[in-house]
Structure 1
Amino acid sequence: MILRKTYLTGMCISGLMLRRRPEVAPPEYPPSELEAGKISLPELGKMFKMQTEEKNVFLKKIFSVGAPVIAIAFAELLIFSGRIKEAAITYTLLLIILSLSIIVSKKLETRKIYQAFILLPILRMVNLSMPIFFESSLYTFVFIYVPMTIPATIISVHQKIPRESKGDLLKKMKIYLPFSILAGLIFAELENLFIQTSPLIPDLSLFNLLKLTIIMIFVIGLTEEFIFRGIIQTRLEEFLGPAGGILLASLLFGLMHSSYGTPYEMAYTFLAGGVLGYFFYRTKSLALVVMIHGFINIFLFGLIPYLGPGLGLI
């Protein structure tokens, strides 16, 4: 699962937001009191006013999150249809609008959401504008993803997103590592049913496998999971609740794979992103989902193209 390189020279959102509503609840009265007429007209008016305010806050949440998501979906559909120039213009406008919205928005949680969303136009614009430096696209990914760690880190530090304890990570690594390899193989085999990948290394020599592993785990896997799970999902969970956060972050993850040119790949990465999002929600371990993501790519773009499905064992 890589955000495939595309060159210039080369929603039902509301359903996701039903998970979490404002915590202000209208006063409840027993049916007997209503029937007996013990509730005064001012009290009834206050109750209806609170319900109206709750509805207005809910609708504002739909718009504040739904508008940028729809814009991202529109831009990715343009890429899917091969209209790269129009997609670049759309992302440029979205980048400007999100930047201005961060400045003028009075609500802290809305500003945090937009700061998280702004990473996606930046990522896609870097992806679209990257020239060809090397014959192998493997090295090109370094120039796309490494720069993205700068704005992602700035946002993470600014928003004080909690980090995983190194001590806990080292204790769990004996479980995480074999689980990541197995999960990565399963996901890669399933994804191989939808897309036919070419190897990103010339052969399976130790040097090439080491190079592929470093880039797939510590460059691509780390950057994508840091953005989609570590920042975007974390913020959406606070805004929409766990279910809404996981689903919407996964939807964005799937949409950002539009450059593969197949709806099956987008649907699959949406589902795979949902599983990774659930793992992250349950464990709060970015390292776990980074390793799973990395091993998916190692198998998909390294081992499976040479050894075949089942790594040649089937």
Structure 2
Amino acid sequence: MEREADNYFNQGYTFYEDGEPEKALENYQEALEILKATENHDQMGNIFLEMGNSYAALKDCDKSLKMYESCQKHYQKAKNQEGEAFALANIGVIHSHLKNYEKARDSYKKAKKKLKNDKESLKEIESLKKETYHLQKKDAENFYEKAIRLHDKGKNKEALGFYKKALNLFTDKTSRGDCLLEMGNIQAALKNDDKALDLYQKSQKEYHGPKDRLGEGFALSNMGVIHDKRKEYEEARYYYQKALYKFEKAGDTDSYNEISALMGETYEVQGAYGDALKHHQYHLEKFPTEHHPADIHKQIDSIKDKLSQVKPTRNESLILISYLLILIGAEVVTTYTNVEVGLLLHTFILFGLLINSSLSTNYTFTNLLRSMMALPMIRIVGLSIPILNIPALYWFPIISIPLFAASVVIIRSQKLTLKSVGLVWGKLPLQLLVALTGVGLGLTEYLILRPDPLIPVFNLYYLLLGSSFIIISTGLAEELLFRGIIQKNAENIFGGLMSVLYVSLLFTSLHIGWESILDLIFVFSVSMFYGFVFYKTRSIFGITLSHGISNSFLFLVFPFLL
């Protein structure tokens, strides 16, 4: 019986070799029918293998695949690992022809496990596996190019389909990022903004892997454009700022200039001319003249003209003056009359600012009111903390905690950058010169107040400990809030110098508790000086050190020396 089957098998193989796969299949089928009654899985595996080859010659991939799969099962039962390997390799070839490249590689991987010592076959299978990557990339590139042609012709939906096909085939992250970026562009053109945003976000993640900063920059800037179109300007600036960083690192000044201009426009649309001016001026400082946009100086002149005309409306002026007067009143009551009533007034200010900022439709006015909410909050927390049994030196870091917390919340909610709130070095020689003024200012205020020392002993340990507390708790915490945040927001309402004046009045009002008219005049003068320095340099580095050094000499040094 098996000899008869062998005869059919050999005749079939002869027909296959002679280029007659149909006749070969007839003989293989006869051999298979004879062997069905036997348990000769090895020979049946041989027949199914050759049937698979015959169907492959007829370009019938589906039937060929079924034959190879049956072949592999019979070889497995026969425990013929070499046969299994060849069957799996052929399965991989068919999957490769069907463009199922992942399945092909999986089959090749399984085949290699079966061939442990056959170096020649292993080398051949590895070569086939590598070829799948080449074929897959070629197919992906063809789909991608076809998508681009369709996109250029305005056939967006058809292009989207080919981008998806390319995306499914590309394995490198940069190419996948390109596909997702283009798909996002199509969805944006079709006004499907949510889908576009999702695709841009996925694109940015793909680009992030290989650190393709240019690709990330385009993805982030497109996200900004979507939010810009929706009039979500804070979100737009958030993504524009990130895109600018990527373009700067990639050295693409043209894209940087384009996105920087869009970011500046978002400030202007919201009436934040002060922020727009600072943004463009920073741009000029960042790059040499040859990389400046052609019209940036005209833009700056136009913004300066608009900024010179900036002033609050009568209603806004009344509201801001009212809050200043109520704040002064609350401090006077707290200091000279009744702490509980003062606490109540500060609570009233807090809720008033909250309500007014919620009702206002003016972006810049709302930002100013919200940043001012930190002032009564600090007072409420400060008056509520039981600090009587705590050494006076430790009051500063305790009170600074809500101060820093309020600043962080405002920075995050208004999506401010570290640069915009003055957390930059600035021109160091000038900043250090400003810092040195702290010694003279500390001496002047000491002669006015003559406070007791905050440290028990005048030695290096207490000086370092105390000055660290004071520089961070009064210098950095107060300058970040008053100059970096409140004054920055006030500049968009009052313009430059008037904002310095208004914030100085707010700052001075919180020093009423020292019960000295002369000290109030001194504090107001110093605040004007600090505000003017910030307005001109856009850095709080020097004034932070000056403020901290001034208070360090006031409370730690001069009480022992004078």
**Structure 1 residue 200 corresponds to structure 2 residue 454:** yes
Distance change in 2, residues 1:116/1:298 (3 Å): same
Give the share of equivalent positions with the same residue, in percent. 27
Aligned residues: 255
**Structure 1 residue 107 corresponds to structure 2 residue 362:** yes
User: C-alpha separation between the residues in 2 aligned to 1:168 and 1:160?
Assistant: 17
User: C-alpha separation between the residues in 1 aligned to 2:478 and 2:423?
Assistant: 24
Instruction: Pick from 505, 526, 529 the counterpart of residue 272 of structure 1.
Output: 526
User: C-alpha separation between the residues in 1 aligned to 2:330 and 2:400?
Assistant: 20
Equivalent residues of 2:470, 2:552 under 8 A apart: yes
Equivalent residues of 1:133, 1:140 under 8 A apart: no
Quote the offset at 1:164 in angstroms.
3.3
**Structure 1 residue 258 corresponds to structure 2 residue 518:** no
Equivalent residues of 1:64, 1:110 under 8 A apart: no
Equivalent residues of 1:94, 1:121 under 8 A apart: yes
Instruction: Pick from 482, 491, 502 the counterpart of residue 228 of structure 1.
Output: 482
Quote the offset at 1:275 in angstroms.
0.5
RMSD of equivalent CA atoms? 2.6
Equivalent residues of 2:312, 2:493 under 8 A apart: no
Q: Deviations over 1:76-124 (max 9, x none)?
A: 1212323212111101111112112222222212211111110100111
- Once the two structures are superposed, the pairs formed by residues 74-113 of structure 1 within 5 Å of their partners are 74-113=329-368
Partner of 1:213: 467
Instruction: Pick from 422, 427, 431 the counterpart of residue 176 of structure 1.
Output: 431
User: C-alpha separation between the residues in 2 aligned to 1:248 and 1:157?
Assistant: 24
Partner of 1:150: 405
Equivalent residues of 2:453, 2:559 under 8 A apart: yes
Instruction: Pick from 138, 145, 150 the counterpart of residue 393 of structure 2.
Output: 138
Distance change in 2, residues 1:167/1:232 (3 Å): closer
> TM-score w.r.t. structure 1 length?
0.75
**Structure 1 residue 73 corresponds to structure 2 residue 345:** no
User: C-alpha separation between the residues in 1 aligned to 2:499 and 2:384?
Assistant: 30
In proportion to residue count, which structure has more helix?
A: 2
Quote the offset at 1:241 in angstroms.
0.8
Q: Deviations over 1:267-311 (max 9, x none)?
A: 211111001111111111111111110000110001100011xxx
Partner of 1:128: 383
Quote the offset at 1:256 in angstroms.
0.4
User: C-alpha separation between the residues in 2 aligned to 1:57 and 1:254?
Assistant: 22
Distance change in 2, residues 1:109/1:64 (3 Å): farther
Q: Deviations over 1:29-86 (max 9, x none)?
A: xxxxxxxxxxxxxxxxxxxxxxxxx9x9731221232221121111112123232121
Equivalent residues of 2:424, 2:541 under 8 A apart: no
Quote the offset at 1:168 in angstroms.
6.1
Residue 201 of structure 1 aligns to which amino acid in structure 2? I
Quote the offset at 1:140 in angstroms.
2.0
Higher relative contact order (CA 8 A, sep 6+): 1
User: C-alpha separation between the residues in 2 aligned to 1:244 and 1:281?
Assistant: 11
**Structure 1 residue 58 corresponds to structure 2 residue 313:** yes
Distance change in 2, residues 1:115/1:167 (3 Å): closer
User: C-alpha separation between the residues in 2 aligned to 1:79 and 1:175?
Assistant: 39
Partner of 2:166: none
> TM-score w.r.t. structure 2 length?
0.43
Partner of 1:294: 548
Aligned to 1:192, the other structure's residue is in SS state helix
Equivalent residues of 2:475, 2:545 under 8 A apart: yes
Quote the offset at 1:155 in angstroms.
0.6
User: C-alpha separation between the residues in 2 aligned to 1:162 and 1:132?
Assistant: 34
User: C-alpha separation between the residues in 2 aligned to 1:179 and 1:80?
Assistant: 32
Q: Which runs of 5+ in 1 are unaligned?
A: 1-20, 24-53, 309-314
- Once the two structures are superposed, the pairs formed by residues 234-253 of structure 1 within 5 Å of their partners are 234-253=488-507
User: C-alpha separation between the residues in 2 aligned to 1:262 and 1:164?
Assistant: 36
Q: Which runs of 5+ in 2 are unaligned?
A: 1-270, 274-308
Residue 95 of structure 1 aligns to which amino acid in structure 2? L
